[in-house]
Amino acid sequence: MLITDDQFVSVRGTVMDANPDMAEEVAGRIVDEGLKFMAACATHPGLGLAPSRIVDEGWHALILHTAMYADLCQTLGGKGTFVHHSPGYDPTHYDPPILDRTRETIAALGWEADPELWGPPSAETLASVAAKCQHAPDCTIVVTPKPKKPGVA
């Protein structure tokens, strides 16, 4: 597990606070997928990955736990790594190739992306989420790379 049980419960609670009618089990799955997404971004900077709209809710909840989030970025990507979030929203944007690439990157890390949470935005999704944020087709996720050693060009 990438975070402690207590941290997970806290992040899941943040998802549930933002989405009062959401079942605890669904909120937990969203956090799990947010963690997988973070790991993919931190370990594969520059690949142009993006979360589905519902997974983005889990990522937002992780970001709100700032100290844990910063530690997690460094644990996953190495010292100096930080996965930044630059929100944008256009409900017409949905880019399956970016989501496919993200799911493939998650699989390469040894996890399976939850197919119910990585689909297109629609009324038939497993859960409606509060976040108004979209990261495709122009992915705005930036991973700050490890700093260069002094004197190295």
pLDDT tens, residue by residue, 116-143? 999 876 644 556 565 555 554 444 444 5
Compare 1 and 59 and report the one with higher pLDDT: 59
Q: 42-69: buried (b, 16+ CB within 10 Å) or exposed (e) per residue?
A: bbbbebbbbbbbbbbbbbbbbbebeebb
For residue 135, being part of any structural domain is answered with yes
Q: What's the number of domains the chain is made of?
A: 1
For residues 74 and 98, give the distance between their C-alpha atoms in angstroms, rounded to a whole number. Answer: 24
For residue 152, being part of any structural domain is answered with no
Dihedral of CA 121/65/48/29: which sign? negative
For residues 107 and 102, give the distance between their C-alpha atoms in angstroms, rounded to a whole number. Answer: 9
pLDDT at 86: 73
For residue 105, being part of any structural domain is answered with yes
The domain in which residue 61 lies consists of 5-119+129-144
pLDDT for 81-104, tens place per residue?
999 887 766 655 678 888 999 999
pLDDT at 27: 96
Compare 91 and 39 and report the one with higher pLDDT: 39
Other C-beta atoms lying within 10 Å of the C-beta of residue 122: 8
pLDDT at 140: 44
For residue 149, being part of any structural domain is answered with no
pTM (global) more than 0.75: yes
pLDDT at 139: 45
For residue 151, being part of any structural domain is answered with no
For residue 36, being part of any structural domain is answered with yes
For residues 51 and 94, give the distance between their C-alpha atoms in angstroms, rounded to a whole number. Answer: 10
For residues 84 and 53, give the distance between their C-alpha atoms in angstroms, rounded to a whole number. Answer: 17
For residue 84, being part of any structural domain is answered with yes
Q: Which pLDDT band holds residue 59 (cuts at 50, 70, 90)? A: very high
For residue 100, being part of any structural domain is answered with yes
Average of per-residue pLDDT values in the chain: 83
